[in-house]
Amino acid sequence: MTTRRGGFTLDVDLEVAPGEVVAVLGPNGSGKSTLLGTLAGLYAPEDARVTLGARVLTDSAAGVSVPAHRRRVGMLSQQALLFPHLTARDNVAFGPRCAGRRRHEALAAARELLADVGVAELEGRRPAELSGGQAQRVAIARALAVEPDLLLLDEPFAALDVDAAPAVRSVLRRLVRRTGQTTLLVTHDVVDAVVLADRLIVLAEGRIVEQGPTAEVLARPRSAFAARIAGLDLVTGTASDGGLTTEEGTPVYGRPSEEVAPGEPAVAVFPPSAVAVHRKPPEGSPRNVVPVRLAALEPQGEVVRLRAAASPGGPPWVEGLAADVTPAAVAELGVEPGDDLWFAVKATEVAVHPRRR
């Protein structure tokens, strides 16, 4: 599709499979909001064809443009935007009522969804009586109440505080997985993509510059933006009681930060600043200690990033891991590419998140 707004042009070719969750990341002004607005029917593209299943929503050449309220596209933004005069129950029931469902049916569906998002006891409250996290849970229920063929999420956790965001993210993940809801998620937070998305797309200047499975894009970024947002070390595997087990069977010890059950696909993430670098195997408290071969030294402002490659006989999953150390530490270690080193990370620095299959 090609959409022009003022002097900005969005030119993308995007397909989302039924039941797939695709995360869209990109710097400000890259076209993320324009993409969602075009799919929702809020913007008129200059040259586009948008289909949803067997239905054609937009076809510029044929003069087809289905209005927003008939697209069966749900949208959830940063702000809950609930009707202030309606209770939580009536907010959720509003969509089904507009779609022609009888009042008692719509209210029953609303109560069920409010229970699903964990706020059944708040059904009689109005938005002013809800916290930010509670209001966003109600907004999730309202977006799903219309049984959308496509759910659009526009930074849905950005306005929540650090305590509410993980809980609401966990609720949304559980519902999306259970229902098989086809979803397009716009976010600036790499954790949102890791926890929710099957696939990741990076936009820059109105075009797709990178795409692929989420863990693959974050582990081996090919664009400047992806490299910046992937300022986390990321290891894929299967959740275990003590953290995660890699595909090769190596344990990575960490702490769960979301609902993650042993045996399900998971990722362990930690910042490069949490990685200590040693010439010899360290003694002491770090539970995660692995041999690496130094691949590169990359200046990163006030620190130097040491990029790892697998060492002979060492685990292959260390490929691409990074450690941020001071220039003084680099000088003290006396390292250069090709040297064999040891990376160590405390288990308390490693967060284990569920990963979409």
What average pLDDT does the segment 33-39 reach? 89
CB within 8 A of 202, min separation 6: which ones? 24, 25, 26, 208, 209, 210, 211, 217, 223, 225, 226
Q: Is the pLDDT of residue 265 over 90?
A: no
* Nearest-angstrom CA–CA distance, 201 and 222: 12
Q: Is the pLDDT of residue 287 over 90?
A: no
Q: What pLDDT, on a 0 to 100 scale, did the predictor assign at position 257?
A: 67
Answer left, alpha or beta for residue 147, where phi above 0 means left and psi between -120 and 50 means alpha. left
Q: Is the pLDDT of residue 191 over 90?
A: no
Phi and psi at residue 34, to the nearest 5°: -65, -40
Per-residue pLDDT of 214-255, as tens digits, reads 888 887 666 667 767 777 788 889 999 889 999 899 999 998
Q: What pLDDT, on a 0 to 100 scale, did the predictor assign at position 24?
A: 94
Q: What pLDDT, on a 0 to 100 scale, did the predictor assign at position 267?
A: 82
Cα angle vertex 132, ends 130, 136, to 5°?
95
Q: What pLDDT, on a 0 to 100 scale, did the predictor assign at position 286?
A: 79
- State in Å, rounded, how far the first CA of the chain is from the last one: 29
Selection from 28, 49, 35 nearest residue 5 by Cα: 35
Q: Is the pLDDT of residue 171 over 60?
A: yes
Average pLDDT, the chain: 88
Are the beta carbons of 90 and 110 closer than 8 angstroms?
yes
Per-residue pLDDT of 3-21, as tens digits, reads 777 778 888 889 999 999 9
Selection from 31, 8, 3 nearest residue 203 by Cα: 31
Phi and psi at residue 215, to the nearest 5°: -65, -35
Both structure tokens of 167: 């809980």
Phi and psi at residue 310, to the nearest 5°: -70, 140
Chain-centroid distance of CA 343 in Å reads 27
Q: What pLDDT, on a 0 to 100 scale, did the predictor assign at position 222?
A: 65
Q: What pLDDT, on a 0 to 100 scale, did the predictor assign at position 234?
A: 82
What average pLDDT does the segment 265-273 reach? 87
Burial of 200 per CB tally in 10 Å (0-12, 13-18, 19+): buried
Place of tokens 């950005």: 158
Place of tokens 């009586």: 129
Per-residue pLDDT of 94-125, as tens digits, reads 989 988 889 999 999 999 999 988 899 999 99
Are the beta carbons of 278 and 291 closer than 8 angstroms?
no
Per-residue pLDDT of 40-90, as tens digits, reads 988 888 888 899 988 999 998 888 999 988 888 988 888 888 999 999 999
| DSSP category for residue 47 | B
* Nearest-angstrom CA–CA distance, 133 and 331: 47
Q: What pLDDT, on a 0 to 100 scale, did the predictor assign at position 357?
A: 53
Are the beta carbons of 204 and 223 closer than 8 angstroms?
yes
Task: Say what the pTM is.
Answer: 0.69
Cα angle vertex 222, ends 216, 227, to 5°?
85
Q: What pLDDT, on a 0 to 100 scale, did the predictor assign at position 86?
A: 95
| DSSP category for residue 35 | H
Are the beta carbons of 188 and 27 closer than 8 angstroms?
no
DSSP state string for 63-128: TEE--GGGS-EEEE-SS----TTS-HHHHHHHHHHHTT--HHHHHHHHHHHHHHTT-GGGTT--GG
